[in-house]
Structure 1
Amino acid sequence: MSPSTSRPGAHGTLITVAPTGAEHSKADVPNLPVTVEDLVRTARDCERVGAAMIHLHVRDRDAKPTLDLGLLRETVGAVRENSNLIVQLSTGGAVTDSEADRLAVLDALPDSASCSMGTVNFGDDVFLNRWEFIVELHKRMRERDIVPEYEIFDLGQLTTLRRLLDEHGLPSGGHVHLDLVLGVPGGMAGDLETVAAALRLVPEGATFSATGVGRSTLPVLLASLSAGGHLRVGMEDTTTYARGEKVKDNAQLVARASSLSRIAQRPPIGPDEARVLLGVAR
């Protein structure tokens, strides 16, 4: 089934920036934003060049990934106070985080949160998402008026999404938005053929963005634009801008995505239009 093109904002491009993630070491990537101040500055810079939503992981004072609720709340509040971006928290955390800690992320009350649709090999690790955990995330987000972004790492997870919606109903906001994550070692390949295969399984009326990890960043970005989809870019997913050239900062990746969106005649939409598109209440 085809994604929706009738919703407000569907003819522009929603650009999400994922600035940090839980995989990269600050020692290996010195320019990775890890403090609250870093993330606020990143939010401002990326909003200025075309981002409408920010997908956040947080780090502790040693720059290690954490799901500390106090720090999550502080970060959500600081980004809201200093930008107009939609604030989305990751409930994935790091692959070692417990289900209880991942569920507690929702108590920071972001505008949106990720909801991964299944277990996937993640390089040498396993990113575990049991069916019962997925259902609990979906229900708790609806109770808190948090809009989910359903993360799809493999084609079978689109079948899981259909089952979730059939058995447990629509999410908060009433609209289904998903993110195709391609190029993860163990997940979907980051190429045009896989994007096309995934689109045949997207629920009717849903919107989608696409994320290309590593060297698949540009192929996936271009494929998503050509198919009427939206984009996620950022240093969570790639630290290389071009062959032999490291990413300067997240705004550099957002600016490139914005430029290509305009070339495709689907210019970036702002945060307010993105809220309407996704059904964000706040």
Structure 2
Amino acid sequence: MVAPNGARKTKKDHPNLPITISEIVEEADNCFKCGANAIHAHVRDKNGNHTLDIGLYSELIKELKTKVPDLPVQLTTEAVGKYSPSEQFDVVRKLSPESASVAFVEMLPDIKDYKLAKNFYEFSIDNNIQVQHILYSVKDLRLFIQAIKSKIISNKKLQVLYVLGRYDKNFESRTEDLDLFIQEHQSIISFIEWGVCAFGEAETDCLMKSYSLGGKARVGFENNFKNTDGTIADSNAERVSEIVALRKTIL
């Protein structure tokens, strides 16, 4: 999966960061040709800021399905401090996408107040929407496991993404960051599909470790601009190409 832009970075960070819908669609097409099997999609408003605007998302999904019809689209519900759980739910309810990513601690900030989250997850199952649960820490994973045991979340078709380096002061991941997640998820490993994204220069090494342990990978400018050799990638497609090539050497 490719994550081409994220919520916060701008063209000041990288001139080829795709911001507009046309840029995202072009980048998605290039990444698909290089081996990406899905896109994690963010949209931006006219000022380049993160938004969960229904109209923009609808336009992006339509354009992607026209230009790259065989590339699955996962929309994000990331709050970025702007959106409430009910607003995040509303986006998914109105768009009914094939896939959506949801930060678990944003949708369920208090496990004792779980009604809205339970309704969201049940709605997703009833409407065949694949939810990928974003987990930023082992603490998030423990709460996630507790929610499964409490039947707030069904144990059917579960996808999780472990985010490495999010809480490092320099947003730099380490391969050993994955070890704690692996140790903790053994009780649910039989019914989850898991993957990794990783901030910073260790992105490639972290993704290769995920592959070697049976996980999947999300790569792209949302988390990192650099190739393994330290050079700045010209595009997301370049990052996808490197990961696809390296994956073949270990699998």
Q: 1:31 aligns with which of 7, 11, 16?
A: 16
Q: Is the 8 A contact 1:135 1:164 kept in 2?
A: no
CA gap of 1:137–1:236, structure 2 versus 1, over 3 A, is farther
Q: 1:113 aligns with which of 93, 100, 109?
A: 100
Post-superposition Cα deviations, 1:106-165, rounded to whole Å, max 9, x if no partner, equal 12222111122226xxxxxxx994443644442332233211111111012112222222
Query: Where does residue 157 of structure 1 map in the other structure?
Result: 140
Q: 1:168 aligns with which of 114, 137, 152?
A: 152
1:253 Cα deviation after fit: 0.8
Post-superposition Cα deviations, 1:34-73, rounded to whole Å, max 9, x if no partner, equal 1111111111111111111100110122222111111111
Query: Where does residue 214 of structure 2 map in the other structure?
Result: 228
- Gaps of at least 5 residues in structure 2 are none
CA gap of 1:128–1:21, structure 2 versus 1, over 3 A, is farther
Aligned structure 1 segments of 4 or more residues deviating by more than 3 angstroms:
127-137, 186-189
| Letter of the 2:102 counterpart | C
1:76 Cα deviation after fit: 1.3
1:102 Cα deviation after fit: 1.8
Count, aligned residues: 241
Q: Is the 8 A contact 1:210 1:224 kept in 2?
A: yes
Query: Does 2:161 align with 1:179?
Result: yes
Query: Does 2:3 align with 1:21?
Result: no
CA gap of 1:216–1:130, structure 2 versus 1, over 3 A, is farther
Q: Is the 8 A contact 2:27 2:237 kept in 1?
A: yes
Q: What is the CA–CA distance in structure 2 between the aligned matches of 1:251 and 1:116, rounded to whole Å?
A: 26
Q: What is the CA–CA distance in structure 2 between the aligned matches of 1:228 and 1:24, rounded to whole Å?
A: 30
Post-superposition Cα deviations, 1:9-36, rounded to whole Å, max 9, x if no partner, equal xxxxxxx100111110233322111111
CA gap of 1:30–1:181, structure 2 versus 1, over 3 A, is same
1:237 Cα deviation after fit: 0.7
Q: How does 1:127-138 map to 2 (within 5 A)?
A: 129-131=109-111, 132=114, 134-138=117-121
| Letter of the 1:248 counterpart | D
| Letter of the 2:123 counterpart | R
Query: Where does residue 58 of structure 1 map in the other structure?
Result: 43
Identical columns (%): 26
Q: Is the 8 A contact 1:57 1:93 kept in 2?
A: no
Query: Where does residue 9 of structure 1 map in the other structure?
Result: none
Q: What is the CA–CA distance in structure 2 between the aligned matches of 1:31 and 1:196, rounded to whole Å?
A: 33
Q: What is the CA–CA distance in structure 2 between the aligned matches of 1:28 and 1:218, rounded to whole Å?
A: 19
| Letter of the 2:152 counterpart | H
Q: Is the 8 A contact 1:183 1:213 kept in 2?
A: yes
CA gap of 1:60–1:201, structure 2 versus 1, over 3 A, is same
Q: What is the CA–CA distance in structure 1 between the aligned matches of 2:66 and 2:101, rounded to whole Å?
A: 22
More helix by share: 2
What TM-score do you get using the length of structure 2 for normalisation?
A: 0.86
1:226 Cα deviation after fit: 1.5
Q: 2:58 aligns with which of 73, 78, 94?
A: 73
Matched residue of 2:218: which SS?
A: strand
Q: What is the CA–CA distance in structure 2 between the aligned matches of 1:135 and 1:186, rounded to whole Å?
A: 31
CA gap of 1:69–1:168, structure 2 versus 1, over 3 A, is same
1:236 Cα deviation after fit: 0.6
1:186 Cα deviation after fit: 5.0
Q: What is the CA–CA distance in structure 1 between the aligned matches of 2:243 and 2:119, rounded to whole Å?
A: 34
Q: What is the CA–CA distance in structure 2 between the aligned matches of 1:78 and 1:130, rounded to whole Å?
A: 37
Q: What is the CA–CA distance in structure 1 between the aligned matches of 2:117 and 2:196, rounded to whole Å?
A: 20
Higher RCO by CA contacts (8 Å cutoff, separation 6 or greater): 1
- Gaps of at least 5 residues in structure 1 are 1-15, 120-126, 266-282
CA-based RMSD of the aligned residues comes to 2.4
